[in-house]
């Protein structure tokens, strides 16, 4: 497997684009994206578990119930959530896309992201659709990635190549996500494309399994969004033999999927609203995977610890505190904690108690922009990784007045 350029356009037969159609009135930023596959693709998606769901989610669920899709359309600037006419508007987005591209409306994945509870006018989308379709090209992944950004400061795009059935396949993705990031069984907005031939039921299984270890282990602020979705289209144009059961090819596909989603998780956490540091918590020695996951996620979710990391303060007591309330089954008197960055690593807690360490060295390590928290439990063999970020003034600033 190797990283390649091209994002969602890296796989054979995928094109993408993005334009400003006027949903965002206060600034001229691309606000609608379109991804198209040359041929119908196996498709799957996972969605937020929030009871309040964005209207596009219901429409997408219906559209890909048959395991097939050929395009994805997504606007930013308005979440189309808590709107009485929301599903109508989302379905109109599919119809407009279908009319302008010649595809079927039922084969369109639709998504929205932005403010909740403000009606989404179909007018700018209808007016801009021809321009949007014209913007789609074989190198348009970045334009699509830009168009789905809200408070994101960095474009999130990745692609890898892998081999299945002797054929080189490619898998790419784009993502948006910066605040309201605390996925639960699904997450954020992530569009993945692939040119491998894979049966819809295997694609569904691969995606559902993968998100448990990737997006569901990522948190920016503890708020599970109403519009989270990860979707994938795999169009088979790589020419590999159809992956329709577990085996070597399926494993290669899953490894590629994991590389792409893990890269996007890190990118999302690092670009957390206001964040200055990416926080990765590795837990080993857990009693069960569930315990290791609960422990890792509790640490990256602690407001107190996140604020300490912003201050480059080696306040390991807050790590212990977060482990203690994580509801993981842990022997808290057998916990070791080490902080690590490119500047080195430093053990700050051993067997649940303090060890002498250089505050100066710890500060030097924690001033870097990617910090690892290594937690060793002595309860078993299970491990888990979680991603998060620090809590900063800018998070408060961004969210103190997001709507205006």
Q: Quote the least distance from Cβ 327 to its own copies, whole Å.
A: 9
Which residues lie closer than 8 Å to 107 by C-beta, 6 or more apart?
40, 63, 68, 69, 70, 71, 98
180 binds its own copies (CB under 8 A): yes
- Sign of the dihedral defined by the CA atoms of residues 42, 231, 132, 237, in that order: negative
374 binds its own copies (CB under 8 A): no
Q: Quote the least distance from Cβ 275 to its own copies, whole Å.
A: 12
318 binds its own copies (CB under 8 A): yes
Instruction: Indicate the length of the chain as a whole number.
Output: 404
- Residues binding its own copies: number (CB under 8 A): 63
Backbone angles phi, psi at 18, to 5 degrees: -165, 140
Residue 295 CB: number of other CB atoms within 10 A? 30
364 binds its own copies (CB under 8 A): no
Distance CA 119, CA 87 (A): 11
Stretch of 114-122, 155-163, 253-261, 263-271 contacting its own copies, by CB under 8 A: 114-122
75 binds its own copies (CB under 8 A): no
Which residue number, 5 or 393, has a Cβ lying nearer to its own copies?
393
Which residue number, 49 or 95, has a Cβ lying nearer to its own copies?
49
Which residues lie closer than 8 Å to 19 by C-beta, 6 or more apart?
30, 31, 32, 128, 131, 132, 135, 143, 147
401 binds its own copies (CB under 8 A): yes
Q: Quote the least distance from Cβ 18 to its own copies, whole Å.
A: 24
225 binds its own copies (CB under 8 A): yes
Distance CA 55, CA 83 (A): 8
- Interface residue with its own copies among 47, 310, 339, 387 (CB under 8 A) is 310
Which residue number, 146 or 152, has a Cβ lying nearer to its own copies?
152
Asked if 347 and 321 touch (Cβ cutoff 8 Å), the reply is no
Q: Detail the DSSP E strand segments found in 147-293.
A: 156-164, 167-176, 189-194, 229-234, 278-286
Distance CA 266, CA 218 (A): 8
- Interface residue with its own copies among 1, 68, 82, 199 (CB under 8 A) is 82
Which residue number, 241 or 393, has a Cβ lying nearer to its own copies?
393
- Interface residue with its own copies among 15, 53, 176, 293 (CB under 8 A) is 53
- The tokens describing 143, both together, are 């334009």
308 binds its own copies (CB under 8 A): yes
Q: What radius of gyration, in Å, describes the C-alpha atoms of the chain? A: 21
226 binds its own copies (CB under 8 A): yes
Which residues lie closer than 8 Å to 324 by C-beta, 6 or more apart?
330, 332
295 binds its own copies (CB under 8 A): no
Which residue number, 141 or 298, has a Cβ lying nearer to its own copies?
298
Query: Among the options 113, 187, 338, 385, which is catalytic?
Result: 187
- Interface residue with its own copies among 4, 116, 242, 334 (CB under 8 A) is 116
Stretch of 80-88, 104-112, 189-197, 205-213 contacting its own copies, by CB under 8 A: 80-88
- Interface residue with its own copies among 25, 84, 166, 360 (CB under 8 A) is 84
- Interface residue with its own copies among 332, 344, 369, 381 (CB under 8 A) is 332
Mark whether 187 is an active-site residue. Answer: yes
Distance CA 163, CA 317 (A): 46
Assign residue 277 a region (left: φ > 0; alpha: ψ between -120 and 50; beta: otherwise). Answer: beta
325 binds its own copies (CB under 8 A): yes
Which residue number, 143 or 273, has a Cβ lying nearer to its own copies?
273
367 binds its own copies (CB under 8 A): no
Which residues lie closer than 8 Å to 27 by C-beta, 6 or more apart?
none
DSSP 213: H
With vertex at residue 269, the alpha carbon angle to CA 109 and CA 113, rounded to the nearest 5 degrees, is 30
- Enzyme catalytic residues: 187
Binding residues for its own copies, per CB under 8 A? 49-53, 79, 81-84, 115-119, 179-180, 182, 184, 221-226, 301-304, 307-308, 310-311, 313, 315-318, 320-325, 330, 332, 349, 352-354, 391-393, 395-404
């Amino acid at each position: 497997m190797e990283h390649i350029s091209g994002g969602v356009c890296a796989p054979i037969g995928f094109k993408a684009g993005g334009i400003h159609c006027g949903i965002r009135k206060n600034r001229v930023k691309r606000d609608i994206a379109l991804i198209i596959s040359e041929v119908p693709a196996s498709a799957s998606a996972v969605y937020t578990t929030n009871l309040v769901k964005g209207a596009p989610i219901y429409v997408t669920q219906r559209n890909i119930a048959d395991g097939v899709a050929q395009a994805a359309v997504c606007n930013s600037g308005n979440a189309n959530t808590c709107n009485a006419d929301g599903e109508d508007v989302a379905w109109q987005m599919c119809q407009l896309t279908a009319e302008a591209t010649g595809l079927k409306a039922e084969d369109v994945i639709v998504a929205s992201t932005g403010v909740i509870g403000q009606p989404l006018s179909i007018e700018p989308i209808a007016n801009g659709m021809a321009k949007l379709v014209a913007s789609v090209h074989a190198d348009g992944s970045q334009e699509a990635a830009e168009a789905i950004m809200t408070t994101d400061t960095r474009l999130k795009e990745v692609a890898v190549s892998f081999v299945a059935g002797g054929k080189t396949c490619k898998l790419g993705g784009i993502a948006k996500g910066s605040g309201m990031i605390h996925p639960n069984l699904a997450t954020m907005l992530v569009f993945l494309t692939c040119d491998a031939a894979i049966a819809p039921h295997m694609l569904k299984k691969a995606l559902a399994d993968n998100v448990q270890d990737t997006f569901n282990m990522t948190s920016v602020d503890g708020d599970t969004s109403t519009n989270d979705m990860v979707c994938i289209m795999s169009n088979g144009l790589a020419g590999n033999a159809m992956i329709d059961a577990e085996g070597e090819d399926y494993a290669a596909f899953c490894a590629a999927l994991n590389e792409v989603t893990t890269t996007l998780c890190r990118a999302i956490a690092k670009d957390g609203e206001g964040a200055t540091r990416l926080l990765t918590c590795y837990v080993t020695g857990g009693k069960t995977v569930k315990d290791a996951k609960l422990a890792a996620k509790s640490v990256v979710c602690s407001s107190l610890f996140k604020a300490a990391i912003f201050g480059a303060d080696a306040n390991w007591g807050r790590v212990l505190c977060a482990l203690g309330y994580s509801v993981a089954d842990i022997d808290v008197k057998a916990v070791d904690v080490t902080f690590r960055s490119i500047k080195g690593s430093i053990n700050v807690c051993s067997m649940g108690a303090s060890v002498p360490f250089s505050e100066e060295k710890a500060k030097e390590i924690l001033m870097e922009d990617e910090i690892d928290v290594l937690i060793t439990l002595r309860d078993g063999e299970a491990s888990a990784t979680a991603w998060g970020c620090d809590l900063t003034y800018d998070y408060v600033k961004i969210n103190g007045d997001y709507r205006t």
